[in-house]
Amino acid sequence: MTLLFTLALIALVSAACYHRASWNTCLGVAAATLLIGTFAGAFGAFAWLIFLAIAIPLSMTNVRQQYIVAPLFKAFKKVTPSMSETEKSAIDAGTTWWEADLFCGNPNWNKLHQYQAPRLTAEEQAFMDGPVEEVCAMLNDWEATHELTDLPQEVWQYLKDNKFFAMIIKKQYGGLEFSAYAQSCVLQKLTSKSTLLSSIVGVPNSLGPGELLQHYGTQAQKDHYLPRLAKGDEIPCFALTSPEAGSDASSIPDFGIVCKGEWEGKETLGIRLTWNKRYITLAPVATVLGLAFKMRDPDGLLGDKKEIGITCALIPTNIPGVEIGRRHFPLNVPFQNGPTKGEGVFVPLDFIIGGPKMAGQGWRMLVECLSVGRVITLPSNSTGGIKSLALASGAYSRIRRQFKLPIGKMEGIEEALAKLGGYAYSSDAAVSMSTGAVDLGEKPSVISAILKYHLTEQMRDSTKHAMDIHGGKGICLGPNNYLGRGYQGAPIAITVEGANILTRNMIIYGQGAIRCHPFVLAELNACTIKDKEEALSSFDQALMGHIGFTISNLVRTKWLALTGGRFSKVPFNDETADYYRAAARFSASLALMSDICMAVFGGSLKRKERISARLGDLLSYLYLVSATLKRYNDEGRRKEDLPYVQWACQEHLYLCQRALADLINNMPSMALRGLLKLVLFPFGRPVRKPTDQMEHKLAQLLQTPGAARDRLASHIYLRDEPLNLIGTQEQTLKDILEVEPLFDKVCRAKGEKLPFMRLDKVAEMGRECGALNNDEADKLAAVEAKRLAVINVDDFDPADLLAGKARVVAKDADAA
């Protein structure tokens, strides 16, 4: 009887914890069970003594705080690393959204599906169908990247005239004021034609003077600059990174000294600036330079504070002393990028963005804007690239033949195609969902880091798979190569806006643990409260919540692991149900492992970058699964799209499982590792990689024109015109599929399996033997030139390949 009631007590309290019941509710459940068990003769005085010894001190606030929480608070403050002002600004920047639900271990899937899917307005759609299509048609990417190393002047002018640089600027200042989702769609289509084009358009609409001015500028600054930026009269850039401060941008050595100087013939209070920046996109052609520097006031001209901090200012590049014009050459993707320097350049205080009152607020301004900009530009460019690679590789695999069959029928090619198709679907889903969040008013700093890392990595992986599929077609640069520049330039996206190693190892979980965890930030903030009683009370409230949260996640994790999540609620009981269940299970595991790692490593977790990276991977892959499931629902749950959904969910859940297993294997104690394996994987690892059959179905989708393939091609430039290689290849695919039955007729008439080549000769054979009429023979013959255009590569006269001289100018003879 005692055993039965003890098990009942554990089960009932665990059920209360599973459902996140309050402390008082759990106490009530335990007391009621003890009372009933006492009347049944199962419990006696000893059981009540244990219960009261736990319940009374934890329920009496004064006793709990004085004898339990106060010593813990003292120890917590000792082991908690201090946060710098720049770290605090990064933590405080932005908002949390769906990633917080995933981090808390109990995602509400109905809440996810209630978020409205983003849609283009009529004006935005007209821009996509008009100016975006036209500028894509204007550009010869080979000419721009190989011969001009820049966009042609007529393309630059078209971009200015049609306000491509003003998508973020409000209409009252002459801008387009497009939604984040619309900006993403524009960049995807531009990328599918040229990474050079999308890079140049993306930067002014991301982190830069336009964005900073609209959020922080004075009215006079807005009235002067924003209309000029909208019309293209000003070309902006933003200078942050320097030779000494790349990923650690907050340590910039560039400085500005508050002093008096002459400006327009009058003595003026201002700043004397010295900077040396590099990697600055649009710097060589910029007319206005957004500059980040550390502001100092050694003479106290503004007050008692000597070190004012990072500040942002707008510097016209025609001021004497500003050096621009030289260019970097980033991996043969020659977007305008280069260094800028200045020494002792004097400007008035009014040049600070937001005026003198915003001095020292530069880092906060930057991280707040970055939380939005990083959701749009690089993820959208990566998504556009992945989607165009998936389409091009699918078409090429169906057109290109070896061993008398399309190479897309080979299992090795199918494996690579499946990855391209799955990445294309899930990356588009993630960008759509995340830009939709921005349009709902969110500033998702953690999500922006997730997308920046994972989508640029998927883009790099996709270029590799596409290159493997194309073989010799991919490696020979020339006007007919649509892979080479993207393959060369893939590391650029990996490097900029926070190098990916930094983003994965430090930012995703570093920000996520503090911003998304319901109690950690409150615990840290309690350490900064000066009033001792208030600090203790605040920490007590956060700590008790944290303990209950951890217990709840332990119970949830164990139950979901034992049952495989079979009893957890799912919004749809169809082919996707198991993905919701697995994601809920891994969400609980993430919440539990996060608290365990905080307890095991304490303040040193900040330095355990690989532990942090794996926790971040768990959060990231769960976010990508969520986006995939949401897209499938938003688009009407079409069964023909299931191969995309199944591959993406299966792949990312498998990676979740691997990250969790690696996390367990790197715990410092063998006993802890054994216990965690028992809790998290009691029956082994449940998720398997996508099967060969699943990848076969997905590969076939990419090679067969149809509605599912068309949906994957949304916002990709596919016009059939001479300068659009992917668009003409799409038409060739359709033409070849149309004439294949004619080719088969000739083979049957000849009694042999002919090689699928020299189709003009095959057409004549068919005409001669009566297998084809004249119209059919002409149709078959006409496809041969298109087929050859797809599989052939460029060759050059040796004289045409002579490189020009890229000369580095040394400042002195020793350097030379």
The Cα 652–Cα 665 span in angstroms is 20
Rg for the chain, CA atoms, rounded: 31
Q: How many CA atoms lie within 13 A of 575 on its CB side?
A: 15
Q: If you search the block for the tokens 């500040």, which residue do you land on?
A: 311
Spatial contact of 428 and 387, defined as CB atoms under 8 Å apart: yes
Is 497 one of the catalytic residues?
Answer: yes
Going by C-alpha positions, the residue among 277, 270, 273, 276 that lies closest to residue 256 is 273
The Cα 184–Cα 787 span in angstroms is 33
The Cα 328–Cα 340 span in angstroms is 11
Spatial contact of 396 and 470, defined as CB atoms under 8 Å apart: yes
Burial of 489 (0-12, 13-18, 19+ CB in 10 A): buried
The Cα 392–Cα 413 span in angstroms is 13
Burial of 670 (0-12, 13-18, 19+ CB in 10 A): exposed
The Cα 599–Cα 593 span in angstroms is 10
Q: Where are the beta strands (DSSP E) in 282-325?
A: 288-296, 307-316, 322-323
Read out DSSP for 497-511? SS-HHHIIIIIHHHH
Choice among 368, 457, 497, 776 that is catalytic? 497
Question: Which H or E element spans position 202?
Answer: helix 195-202
The Cα 103–Cα 326 span in angstroms is 46
Q: Which residues contact 752 (CB under 8 A, 6 or more apart)?
A: none
Q: If you search the block for the tokens 């049944």, which residue do you land on?
A: 40
The Cα 658–Cα 618 span in angstroms is 9
- Tally of CB atoms within 10 A around 603: 13
> Degrees (nearest 5) of the Cα angle 805, 810, 816?
90
The Cα 80–Cα 557 span in angstroms is 27
In the chain, % helix, strand, coil (3-state, to 5) comes to 65, 10, 25
**Mutual angle of helices 411-439 and 609-634, in 10-degree steps:** 90
Spatial contact of 19 and 11, defined as CB atoms under 8 Å apart: no
The Cα 207–Cα 250 span in angstroms is 16
Question: Which H or E element spans position 236?
Answer: strand 236-239
Q: If you search the block for the tokens 């001009």, which residue do you land on?
A: 148
The Cα 640–Cα 7 span in angstroms is 48
Indicate the residue type of 527. C
Active site members: 497
